[in-house]
Structure 1
Amino acid sequence: MNLSTTYNRMKNPIRLALTTLLIVVPLTSTAQIGKYRNTFSIGANAGAALSSVGFDPSVSQGQHVGLTGGLSWRYTSEKYFSTICSIAGEVNFAAIGWKEDIRDANDNPVVNTNGSVEKYSRTLNYIQIPVFAHLAWGRENNGFNFFIQAGPQIGILLSESTDRNYDSPNLDAQSGRSNTTVEQESMKVENKFDYGIAAGAGLEYANSHIGRWMLEARYYYGLGNIYGSSKRDYFSKSNIGNIVIKATWLVDLSK
């Protein structure tokens, strides 16, 4: 993959990250204007991840559904006019990957020579560490607020597993797959380190007796590839993308 293609693929996520920094840096660098805060919170999160892999050549896919959860923390530094400014992070376990949508030329499920409707999915178990600029508007304590957050995320692959019900795919011209890209089915992940940009939005309810509860929808765009992407490799692109719906609970340790 040439430098121009790489640049074009990375341009929009990098623009998102730069925009986030341009918003957050002026806020955090003018603490004398805002109202100082010193609230450190820790807790836990859990949810579901709907993921896929952006292959090129393309692979027909549905959504791979897996669980994610781990530890959360947040440090609130100030309230700038009506904006509550924080930095937040997580250390999560996430079961992500891809699930193939195997169809023939007539958009019907493909039946293998063993008599089964072909099914294939790959689960990739990661430790993921995102760090966010977190901005919120509304009630800081004892009420609701709306928040957005964005920042970088890294991931380390722990293990992978495959769920398939055939030995060889049906590639027959009449009854077989319309999408004949199958190399990924026998390839182990080559790059165990993943990185990208994550951004989300949600609602938080804070109560002095039960802590802080958040419900969030988040999108992650991987900037790395799980397979090699040089000219001699089969795939020029194989980046992870996922949508995460999760709940988080935090308790304040200091104010």
Structure 2
Amino acid sequence: MIRKITIISFLYLAVITGVMAQNKFPQEVSVGASFGMNFSSVSFNPKVYTKMKQGYNGGLVLRWNTEKNLGLQTELNFSQQGWDEQFDENPTYKYTRTINYLEIPFFTHIYFGSNKFKFYVNLGPKVGFAISEKTDQNPNEKNQNAGANNQHDMPIEQKFDWGLCGGPGIELRTGIGYFLLEGRYYYALGDIFHNRKTDYFNKSASQVFSARIIYLLPIRKK
């Protein structure tokens, strides 16, 4: 069995090496930074009435265009997420939970256009880890949501976050670097609270809409 696996591995590497040798596309590696805004919420079951919470995102970007119209991109980001609760019966109530994440997305980068101006789409998974959280609420006033309220006294129980992310963007290439404007949507496949049968919430999944500006500088072409 080990011999068969070794032979298959060598054959696989030989095929990949041959494909790369025949690839005449001028591959390009770019690095840069991003900054933008998040609009996030959490979907709860039992229901909690929420509205979008505003936050910030930013980080480092590494992109590798491996062939025509296709590349890979990964990032290391700081992202503010969480939720604002909605109190229709008493608008003076206030409850906001801010969760700060370090996150790493892994994207397939699909692009097309001219040498100067390109359209693109990034699609792929994202993982993150909650490094801190903060609650902001009315002092000396007990907030009562029309839905569930147990979340007010519950710290984040599952700090590891994972899900699917993607969105479109435009890119302008200049002599001093590449300038990108991009929109994204993220839907978490995990929950921020435990979801066992004995737990209160069976769903507490984040979703985030974001817009960001990215600057990239090509560092290698071959």
| Fold shared by both chains (TM-score > 0.5) | yes
Q: Higher strand fraction: Structure 1 or Structure 2? A: 2
What does 1:1-255 correspond to in 2, within 5 Å? 35-79=24-68, 84-104=69-89, 109-110=90-91, 117-139=92-114, 141=115, 143-169=116-142, 171=144, 177=145, 179-207=146-174, 209-255=175-221
Match of 1:3 in 2: none
CA drift of 1:180 comes to 3.6
Summarize deviations over 1:113-141 as a string: whole Å, max 9, x none: xxxx10110000000110100010102x3
State the distance in 1 between where 2:22 and 2:184 align: 31
State the distance in 1 between where 2:64 and 2:147 align: 49
State the distance in 1 between where 2:113 and 2:220 align: 20
Tell me the amino acid that sits aligned with residue 102 of structure 1.
Answer: F
1:31/1:78 contact within 8 Å kept: no
2:39/2:55 contact within 8 Å kept: yes
CA drift of 1:103 comes to 1.4
Does the residue aligned with 2:216 lie in a helix, a strand or coil?
strand
Summarize deviations over 1:161-206 as a string: whole Å, max 9, x none: 00000445355xxxxx5x1411011100000100000011010011
Match of 1:17 in 2: none
* TM norm structure 2: 0.87
Relative to structure 1, the CA distance from residue 170 to residue 213 in structure 2 (aligned partners, 3 Å threshold; closer, same or farther) is: closer
State the distance in 2 between where 1:58 and 1:123 align: 19
Q: Which runs of 5+ in 2 are unaligned?
A: 1-17
State the distance in 1 between where 2:113 and 2:19 align: 21
CA drift of 1:33 comes to 7.8
Q: Percent identity?
A: 37
2:103/2:129 contact within 8 Å kept: yes
Runs of 4+ more than 4 Å apart = 29-35
2:49/2:147 contact within 8 Å kept: no
2:95/2:143 contact within 8 Å kept: no
State the distance in 1 between where 2:22 and 2:122 align: 22
Tell me the amino acid that sits aligned with residue 196 of structure 1.
Answer: G
Match of 2:13 in 1: none
State the distance in 2 between where 1:131 and 1:37 align: 22
Tell me the amino acid that sits aligned with residue 132 of structure 1.
Answer: F
State the distance in 1 between where 2:26 and 2:75 align: 21
Summarize deviations over 1:62-102 as a string: whole Å, max 9, x none: 110000000001001111xxxx2110011000111000111
Does the residue aligned with 1:37 lie in a helix, a strand or coil?
coil
Summarize deviations over 1:215-243 as a string: whole Å, max 9, x none: 01100000000000011000000011000
State the distance in 2 between where 1:37 and 1:63 align: 43
